[in-house]
Amino acid sequence: MNKIVIVDYGLGNIKSIKHKLEKYNYAVSLSNKANEIESARLLILPGVGNFKVGMANIQNLDLIKCLNSAVLKKKKPIIGICLGMQLMTSFSEEGDCSGLNWINAKTKKFFFKDSKFKIPNVGWRTNELLKPNDYFNQIPKDKYFYFTHSYYVDCKEKEDIIAQSYYGHKFTSVFQKDNIFGVQFHPEKSHLNGFRLLLNFIEKNL
């Protein structure tokens, strides 16, 4: 069976994703072991919480070398979800902390003068697709996805931006660079459309 590894670095709703994928008979494991991560066919980097804590956990588990090998050298397909997407950037204002630096982007804190925009951004938002993307097949353009975040990704390379969302201003909600795919929303919490995107990613890469 095809092997999917959800990187377990101590933050994220990882069991929920695992259980949903197992209902589709996918072989899924949770792991923080280098050999299992590097031998996976496909990787999921989830995450809910603090950027600095997430990077510290990854470093303390000695995962940076194996993740770089799997993603940058072996070109394993990987999807980053919420904090997982942000960890792929070069730097975050949350703790003034360096990230994995896989994408030319920074993670910035929302700041609004208009009091109607509360932080965090929690709720259902649409994505504006800027270019066609196979992972959004069978998903209507006007459908909503579930977001919950206080920081957003500022992507520096236009060609990497797949979709934008709006909360006080536009921000990158989806990016892709080669085998690296990131979404700010939670597909596992976004009902049928979110899970369709996750299945599209898996089906096209296994």
Catalytic machinery residues: 82, 186, 188
Closest CA to 95 of 125, 68, 59: 59
Adjacent-strand bridge partners of 80: 45, 182
Q: How far is 98 from 110, CA to CA, in rounded Å?
A: 18
Question: Could you identify the residue written with the tokens 């703790």?
Answer: 95
H helix or E strand, kind and range, residue 21: helix 14-22
CA dist 175 → 16, 97, 153, 178 (Å): 23, 21, 9, 10
**What's the residue count for the chain?**
206
